[in-house]
Structure formats: structure tokens, C-alpha cells
Amino acid sequence: MIELKTPREIEEMKPAGRFVGGILKELQETTKVGTNLLEIDEFVHKKIVDRKGAESCYVDYAPDFGTGPFAHYICTSVNDAVLHGIPYDYSLKDGDLVSLDLAISVDGWVADSAVSFVVGNDPDPEDLRLIKCTQEALAAAIDVARPGNRLGDISNTIGDIAREYGYPINLEFGGHGVGHIMHGDPHVPNDGKAHHGYKLRDGLVIAIEPWFLKTTDEIFQDPKDGWTLRSEDGSRGAHSEHTIAITENGPIILTDRTNL
């Protein structure tokens, strides 16, 4: 069931958005060559413990697309891993492409966001191009997330930009409704037909999350942890995500990191 939020409820969601956005901004600024993925996980754990009313959306999370409880505080996907990356004992190397995906509940309201970046001093231009594609697709999709447009307009906008860059599109995982739970209706695929689907309304809160792999749309679940999704051909992936509220005055990016 799709739930619409009142203006007051959207205001109540803003602290969660600022909290998640602030953590990701700090992690992007401090994560470097030599940073261990378990250090990133512990950093987020401490942030949650220190914030009154904050709860992890990942610990004990056990949906049917994972194997058992996730049991960590953030998704850390590196290189050929693009989604649901389980933090493990790995120290980042020069040129690694890192995607961090974080969802936290604050006072009962969830915010969900993701960022991708390359660590080190000599990033592969193709990695930067892939990241840029996800960022452009996200920004363009947010811009059309307005009352009166359709859900298909968001999906089609994302798909069109991926095609302009020449990247394949996977439709197994995409954006979703956000509220008191992390994953709700509606599903927001990363491609679709313009002017089709659910009519966007004032008060709809969704996470939009373009993610692409360089040369394939095929993924597999890493059997070592039962969660991490990797590309079938070993090509790298990138992922950008924001939680937004659709309002009569335009979309509000609840997880915006630019003004923190």
C-alpha cells in the first residue's frame, strides 16, 4: 500500500535524512586507501549508538533476497560488488571503487541514501564516468518527481541516461517507498515507460537509486556471505541514492549532503 505523508510528517522525516546524509558525507571525506571495511561499519555503529532515537535498519534485517540477517550497519560494495555489500576484513587499495549504502531510522522515520567514489590518487576515468552517470540519472529523476507526473517518468529518465552512456540496466533492484519502514511501495525501477504508472502525488516519499554496471546487467549473490551482489563478468558498478519527498513546491531531497 502506498502511503502519503502530511507536511508535518515530512518535517519529522528531515532529521533522519540529515543524519544519514551527514554520515555518508563524513565517510566519503575520510575513507581512503588503507581504510578497512569493518572500520567503516564500526564508525556507523558508533554514530547510531551516540544518536538518541536512532536505530539501524540493517541489523537483523532478513528479507527473502538475502541469506539470514544482514547483521551490519552499512552496505560496503567494492569494485565488482554493487549492492548489499557485507562489510568484511578488507583494506581498500588505490583505485578501488567504493559504494556505501546507508539506511537509518530516527524517531521512527527512515532515510536511505548511497554514494559511490574512488579512493586513491589515480582513479580510472571509466570509473569516474560510471559514477557520474548514476549521479546525473539521480539528479534528473529527482527533477521529474513532481505531482502530476507518473512513476514511469522517473524510471524512464533514469533509463534514458543509462542508455546515453551505453550502460546496461538491471531491473531486479531499484528504488522504493520510504517511511516508518525501509522498503515500501511503490517500487521504482531504473527503467520504464514515460507517462505510465502510478500518478505522483504531494506527500509521496521515495528512495530513487540508479545503479549500473559497466558491461553487463547480470548479477549474482556472493556465496561467501549470501548478500553481496556482484557483476557476472567482473565489471565494476556504481550506485547513487537519495530519499526525496514529492511536494507541490517541488521535490525535497531529505538526504541532501551538499549543505551539511
Distance CA 206, CA 186 (A): 8
Mean pLDDT, to the nearest integer, of 170-197?
A: 97
Nearest CA to 36 among 97, 114, 93, 83?
93
What phi, psi does 83 have (nearest 5°)? -140, 150
Per-residue pLDDT tens digits for 141-151: 999 999 999 99
Q: 113-161: per-residue pLDDT in tens?
A: 999 999 999 999 999 999 999 999 999 999 999 999 999 999 999 999 9
Q: Judge whether 209 is annotated as a binding position.
A: yes
Report whether 180 belongs to an annotated binding site: no
Is the model's pLDDT at 260 over the cut of 90?
no
Q: Which domains does the chain have, with CATH numbers?
A: 7-253 (3.90.230.10)
The mean pLDDT of 101-116, rounded to a whole number, is 98
List all residues 6 or more positions away from 239 whose beta carbon is below 8 Å from its beta carbon.
77, 82, 83, 99, 101, 114, 115, 116, 134, 209, 210, 211
pLDDT confidence of residue 225: 95
Question: What percent of the chain has pLDDT above 90?
Answer: 96
Distance CA 237, CA 164 (A): 17
The pTM score is 0.97
Q: Binding residue per annotation — 183?
A: yes
pLDDT at 253: 98
| Residues 55-68: tens digit of each pLDDT | 999 999 999 889 98
187 is in an annotated binding site: no
pLDDT digits (tens, 9 = 90+) for 207-226: 999 999 999 999 999 999 99
- Given this model, what pLDDT does residue 203 score? 98
Which H or E run contains 229?
strand 229-231
Summarised one tens digit per residue, pLDDT across range 10-20 is 999 999 999 99
Residue 62: CB atoms within 10 A of its CB come to: 11
User: Is 112 labeled as ligand-binding?
Assistant: yes
Q: Strands, E, within 73-191: which ranges?
A: 75-78, 81-83, 97-106, 109-118, 175-177, 184-188
Q: Is 84 annotated as a binding residue?
A: yes
Q: Please indicate if the annotation marks 241 as binding a ligand.
A: yes
Least confident of 63-72, 89-98, 113-122, 235-244: 63-72
Helices marked H in the chain? 7-30, 37-50, 125-143, 151-165
Question: Can you give the pLDDT at residue 121?
Answer: 94
- Three-state DSSP class for 187? strand
Terminal-residue alpha carbon distance, the chain: 33
Q: What is the pLDDT of residue 233?
A: 98
Which are the contacts of 158, defined by CB distance < 8 A and separation ≥ 6?
Answer: 137, 138, 140, 141, 190, 191, 208, 210
Task: Say yes or no to pLDDT of 91 above 90.
Answer: yes
Average pLDDT, the chain: 97
Where residue 259 falls among pLDDT bands split at 50, 70, 90?
confident
